[in-house]
Every structure is written in structure tokens, then in C-alpha cells.
Amino acid sequence: MKRIVIEGPGKNALGTDLMVRLREEVAAGGGEGLLFVGSGDAFSAGLDLKEVASLDLDGMDRFLRRLQDLLLELYLYPGPTVACVNGHAIAGGCLVALVCDHRVGARNPRARIGLNEVALGLRFPPVLLQIAAARVARVEEVVLGSKLHDPENALRLGLLDELADDAMAVERAEQVLKYLESLPREAYAAAKRDLRARHAVMDHEANRAFLEEVLPVWTSDELKGRILKMLQR
């Protein structure tokens, strides 16, 4: 079992440096079980908005490709993966939890979990929306509602698989991971690949349309102004 701590600026925001480190740690996993937990009182509250607000079109393209690569590599990782969602898991941070095989949420009523991209005026990269649809039971309510939920509602919607008391969440996540690690490794990897490979296929036409139509929105003055207002709050 390998523990990977998500630790970054603010509430473990996913910026370039953190995404590079996480990809390196996943690649070094070698098929052993991976346990993801956030540093401090958050899992990951989403993308590093300061970095997002600073990017031009080419920089945003590289940034989103890096995020997409991280999530695809974790989604298709051959060994078992468990997320201990110990606090806020928002937007990109929520996606990191979703691509793990099992998600244990801390029963923290202050934690907020969800995919709020629509509320920000954004669209998902196509392959990430495909994965979200495969991993979330009530995906339309989650994506179209664009709300942030407490752990109890996150469990109801399928963003989490189970809840544990705050002090026990990591221990429970470790228990689940140990069980998954006890299963025959080759059979586990093959079954996971059979279940998930079709959801991770890139639709090149949809991706081309995303780059042409949506990427400019991510770098627009309107969005950057909205981000700056959020940061000031």
C-alpha cells in the first residue's frame, strides 16, 4: 500500500506542480494499492484558480491536458485505488476522487463535494464527462445542478461510496484498500480494464470541438474576472 498525500496551495488546489507530482507518484506505484488523502482538512478544493487566471490559450491547453492525463492514468491504473475524502472535494478535486475505485468520505458536515463547472460557466473536456457519467449514479443531477453537497448528500448522489466518522475515515479507507489488494492482482487489473477502457476512449471530433469552442472560454476576460472575484471572497 502506498499513501499519496494531495498537498498544494490553499485547500490543496490542483496546479501544474501538484499534478506533475501526482502523475509521477501514480506512475511509480507499479500496480500496488494507492491510498489518496488530502493534506489538512481538505481533499482538494479544485483547480488552482490563480494559475488558471494567469494562462493564455496555449497555456490553458497544456494545463487541461495535464489534468486530463492525470485523471485518465489514475482511472486506468491497474492496481486498486481508494480515496479518503477527508474534506472539500470540488470540481477537479472531486474528479480525482471519482476516478478512484472506492471513495470513503469523512462524516464532516462542513465538507463540500461536487462538480460545479456549469455554475462557473464551463464545460467538461469530453472524455472526463464520459468518465463522470460512468462513475456517478445520479450524474445529471450532479452535473446539471452544479451544486456542492455535504457528505450525506454526496453519498446519496453516488459521489461517495461510504461514510466514516472523521477520526476513522483514513483507517476505513486503509481497510478497504487492504481487502482489494488481497484479490488476485492480474484478475483485478483485467476486470478493471474491461470495465473502464470503453469510457476512456478519446472522441477526437468532440475533443477538436472542445479545443475550438470551449478552450477560449477558459481564457476569456469574463471568466478571469469571475475567478478574481471568487479569490477576493
Domain boundaries along the sequence of the chain: 2-232
> Per-residue pLDDT tens for 176-186?
999 999 999 99
Q: Helices in 44-161 by DSSP H: which ranges?
A: 49-54, 57-75, 92-98, 126-135, 139-145, 151-157
Neighbouring CB atoms inside 10 A of 146's CB total: 16
Both ends of the chain: CA-CA distance in Å?
39
pLDDT at 231 over 80: no
pLDDT band at 233 (very low <50, low <70, confident <90, very high): low
Question: Is pTM beyond 0.85 here?
Answer: yes
CATH of domain 2-232: 3.90.226.10
Question: What is the number of other CB atoms lying within 10 angstroms of the CB of residue 54?
Answer: 14
| Rounded CA separation 169/107 (Å) | 8
Q: At residue 224, does pLDDT exceed 80?
A: no
- pLDDT, tens digit (0-9, with 9 covering 90-100), for 139-186: 999 999 999 999 999 999 999 999 999 889 999 999 999 999 999 999
pLDDT of the residue at 214: 82
Pairing between β-strand 42-44 and β-strand 34-38 as defined by DSSP bridges: unpaired
| Mean model confidence pLDDT for the chain | 93
Q: Rounded CA gap, 160 and 137, in Å?
A: 10
Q: What is the mean pLDDT of residues 191-220?
A: 88
Mean pLDDT of 69-73: 97
pLDDT at 120: 84
For residue 206, the model assigns a pLDDT of 84
- What's the rounded Cα separation, in Å, for the pair 38 and 34? 13
What order of strands is seen across the sheet that includes strand 88-90? 42-44, 88-90, 113-114
